Amino acid sequence: MKQQSEKSLRKEVIATALEMSRSGLSPGRAGNVSCRFGEGMLITPTGKHYEDTDPDDIVFVNEDGSVPEGQLKPSSEWHFHLAAYRVRPDRQALVHTHSLHATVLACAHKPIPAFHYMVGVAGGKDIPCVPYATYGTEELAQHVAVGLRDRDACLMANHGLIACGVSLAHALELAREVEVLAEQYYKLLVLGDVHVLDDAEMLKIVERFKGYGRNAELNQKCR
């Protein structure tokens, strides 16, 4: 992510959260959004409608989890945002959604296998589903860290979807793509016959994605 001022990042966090909500990826106040900033991150506050959120309401959380005085409370899921940034120093932003089909699969404890080559957009041969833990806990944060160690997206059992990226726009775009894949896979399960691409093919796909279109541009910015 190119260098931006704190004010512009706060506005972008709100814009991303609004788009996430308005597009149906997360209804109401569900979900949360963050991006790296300084020695920590900026994250949406807890319990506040995105339409009513101002730039000053976005909360700065230090990398040790402390929050400077005078701010609103951060999203209750700040633990797993920080855990994701620790395990993925190459990623700069994260969105968490309760999108319909991704959440259905998460509640069924079903990862998304390589039924379609586009599953490789998340960085591997599948999109994993990490075990359930109570929201806002360190236990859930540790599950997320494992799920995102070598993937850009994962499902959380009985919860929802997480997607990370080198920018807020990239993370949101990935969340949209994973929701589409989740809907396709859900409908394929109804048919009852799933043909999964093998690991060797998915390895080729993942390598191709690294140099394809926007990903090539984004990967270059990360260097």
Return d(Cα 86, Cα 102) in angstroms, integer: 25
Supply the CATH number for residue 180's domain.
3.40.225.10
| Residue 1 within any structural domain of the chain | no
| Residue 208 within any structural domain of the chain | yes
Helix H or strand E encompassing 94: strand 93-97
Residue indicated by tokens 């690294």:
210
| Residue 116 within any structural domain of the chain | yes
| Residue 197 within any structural domain of the chain | yes
| Residue 161 within any structural domain of the chain | yes
For 61, residues 6+ apart whose C-beta sits below 8 A from its C-beta are: 40, 41, 42, 43, 67, 74, 78, 81, 82
Active-site residue flag, 69: no
- Give the three-state DSSP class for 183: helix
pTM of the model: 0.92
pLDDT of res. 30: 85
Catalytic residue (choose from 77, 139, 179, 183)? 77
| Residue 22 within any structural domain of the chain | yes
Q: How many structural domains is the chain composed of?
A: 1
Per-residue pLDDT of the chain (223 residues; tens, 9 = 90+): 456 899 999 999 999 999 999 999 988 778 999 999 999 999 999 988 899 999 999 999 999 999 999 999 999 999 999 999 999 999 999 999 999 999 999 999 999 999 999 999 999 999 999 999 999 999 999 999 999 999 999 999 999 999 999 999 999 999 999 999 999 999 999 999 899 999 999 999 999 998 765 444 444 443 3
Domain coverage including residue 174: 6-222
Q: Supply 181's token pair.
A: 């894949």
The candidate with the shortest Cα–Cα distance to 163, out of 6, 16, 12, 9, is 16
